[in-house]
Amino acid sequence: MTVTNPQPNPSNASQTARSGLRTWWREPHFLEKNTILGCTLIVFELVLFPPESPVQMLLALAWLGLVAVIPFVRGVPCAIMLLAAMAVCALLPGQGWWTSGGTAVVTALLAVGYLLPQRGAVAAVLGYAAFDAVGYAFAGTNSIGGSAIRGMIGVINDIVADDMTAIGAVPRRQDVASTLPQYSMIVLVFTFALDLMIVGFLVVFGAAFRRGDEANERAARSQRMLERITREQELAHMIHDSVANDMSTIAMLAWRAKAAIAAGTADDAADGATDGAKCGSDVNGASGGPRVSVVSDGLDEEDIADMLDAIYERSHHALDRVHEVIDVLNGRRMLEHDRNVEDGTETGPGAVSEDDGASEAAEVTGIAPFDAQVEKYVEDQDRAMARLGIRGISRVRCDATPVVPPSVRRTVMNLLEEIYANLVRHCAMHTNTAYSLFVTVDERCVRINEVNALAVESDTLTYGHRHGDGLAFQRAAVESLGGVLHASAQDGAWTVNAEIPLDRLSMLPL
């Protein structure tokens, strides 16, 4: 079988090239664009107004080459080279467009303004204007500004002569340079002023583009810094929402298991002493059948094993998340938020795989309904809370079946995870209803209301340890979506109320 390689489509290649050229042209490449326009105009001038002699042709080609190398020699040396080239051409004998530079001088001055700093640009304008005016007024060098001044003086002289003819007087057309007092000084002053206007405008115009490019670069740096800060905040959220919460649950489980084992050991010791006393009074007494150790709070060995299994699973889940953070820092993977934005899926603490015993989460594919995701997560968390000795009620009500945006889904699930983590740290234990959680979803927003009894701080597992800023993180996330989150403690109860709109416009007052 013969395998043929597909031939590239010329139309696609040309379309790609045009798209790349348009993209490049929109980017800030002032020197390159200035050179392209300058070279194009010089070529058109060569065609429309060809040089009159071989020397003029050489000068035209020299100007064309000088303009062409501007993008390749950047910085102050390039500006000095351009100014030196203009000064040398001004000293050349003869008059004409190609001798003075014309379009090439305009292109060069724009580049000078772009390349030089502010003080250097001012010095360049003053220096070139003074050199051009002095050279033209006293040495007859080439000067576009001086030629314009001399032409204006000649026109004024002709107008005066014509007025004298009109009134019947005999016109006297004489050389202005010989008849006008201080002619050279007049030409010097006006040439300097005109050069300041022309050269200054071109240099300032180029400097304006440079400042615009610098502002764009600063904005780009600020954007990159903002992206880096946002990435670091995402990593902080990732560590806090999973690792810190897992560690709190692991610590709570270990503490409770240790207390239960200690209580069981004390009970066994007391039972052993009682059995020994009985053996002393009844030497024929039997030891009885096998027994199951029962520890405090009605926990037995099976409950202790479940706690150890949960510690094992939670520790592996936290370790996996730490590896994810390390991979993100090393650039081997993207943040979950960035990847979900690209592929249209969402992650959150509500999706639990069959082989993952931790109730927080793995990946949510975005296919499962939002209410089903919330209900599953709440049920898993209620079982985990009961295992820790914290019992409460949770209700999820969905009054409609709206489309929940990925950002809202992620924020809701993260907030629920933070609420349950705070229950582990601060909720009172050994009560019938330690907490109540209600989640309501309607066509406008998601409402979360939670209240729990607060334990005495000295009796909690977190006493003496630093508390995090998890709730502050969640408040910032909720407010970024246009929602509100209020949390307060009053009369021994902690209350959290959050309202997260499905759409920012839905929360605006009618």
Quick one: pLDDT at residue 242?
Answer: 65
Is residue 295 included in any domain, yes or no? no
Is residue 297 included in any domain, yes or no? no
Is residue 404 included in any domain, yes or no? yes
Token pair for residue 125? Answer: 């304008």
- Of the residues 224, 254, 280, the one at which a domain ends: 224
Residue 114 to residues 73, 79, 257, 487, Cα–Cα distance (Å): 13, 9, 73, 55
Is residue 199 included in any domain, yes or no? yes
Q: How far apart are CA 475 and CA 473, in angstroms?
A: 5
Q: How far apart are CA 443 and CA 403, in angstroms?
A: 8
CB 157 within 8 A of CB 211: no
Q: For the chain, what's the residue count? A: 510
Q: What angle do CA 227, 342, 217 make, to 5 degrees?
A: 30
Is residue 470 included in any domain, yes or no? yes
Residue 89 to residues 82, 255, 419, Cα–Cα distance (Å): 11, 89, 78
In three-state secondary structure terms, 328 is: helix
What phi, psi does 283 have (nearest 5°)?
A: -70, -20
Whether pTM > 0.75 for this model: the answer is no
Token pair for residue 28? Answer: 């800030």
CB 95 within 8 A of CB 137: no
The dihedral formed by the CA atoms of 171, 177, 179 and 181, expressed in degrees to the nearest 10: 140
User: Helices 183-238 and 144-166, interaxial angle, to 10°?
Assistant: 140
Q: How far apart are CA 429 and CA 434, in angstroms?
A: 7
Pick the closest to residue 185 from 132, 127, 133 (CA basis): 133
Cross-sheet strand order for the sheet of 493-501:
392-398, 435-441, 445-453, 493-501, 484-490
Q: How many CA atoms lie within 13 A of 87 on its CB side?
A: 14
Other C-beta atoms lying within 10 Å of the C-beta of residue 78: 21
Quick one: pLDDT at residue 498?
Answer: 94
Mean pLDDT in order along the chain per 10 residues (510 residues): 54 72 76 90 88 86 89 85 84 74 87 90 90 84 76 71 65 58 80 89 90 88 86 74 72 73 62 52 43 49 75 79 78 61 46 37 53 89 82 88 86 89 80 87 92 76 57 87 91 91 63
Is residue 352 included in any domain, yes or no? no
Residue 179's domain comprises 25-224
- Of the residues 194, 209, 224, the one at which a domain ends: 224
- Of the residues 202, 224, 246, the one at which a domain ends: 224
**Dihedral sign, Cα of residue 59, residue 60, residue 64, residue 70:** positive
Question: For strand 392-398 and strand 435-441, is the pairing parallel, antiparallel, or unpaired?
Answer: parallel
Number of domains in the chain: 2
Quick one: pLDDT at residue 336?
Answer: 55
Is residue 278 included in any domain, yes or no? no
Quick one: pLDDT at residue 495?
Answer: 93
Quick one: pLDDT at residue 453?
Answer: 87
Quick one: pLDDT at residue 447?
Answer: 93
What's the burial of 376, exposed, middle or buried (CB within 10 Å: 0-12/13-18/19+)? middle
Quick one: pLDDT at residue 345?
Answer: 47
Q: How far apart are CA 382 and CA 225, in angstroms?
A: 41
Quick one: pLDDT at residue 152?
Answer: 76
Q: How far apart are CA 44 and CA 46, in angstroms?
A: 5
Q: How far apart are CA 42 and CA 61, in angstroms?
A: 9
In three-state secondary structure terms, 280 is: helix
Is residue 53 included in any domain, yes or no? yes
Q: What angle do CA 107, 108, 111 make, to 5 degrees?
A: 90
Pick the closest to residue 240 from 464, 414, 44 (CA basis): 414
- 3-class SS string, 363-431: EECCCCCHHHHHHHHHHHHHHHHHHCCCCEEEEEEECCCCCCCHHHHHHHHHHHHHHHHHHHHHECCCC
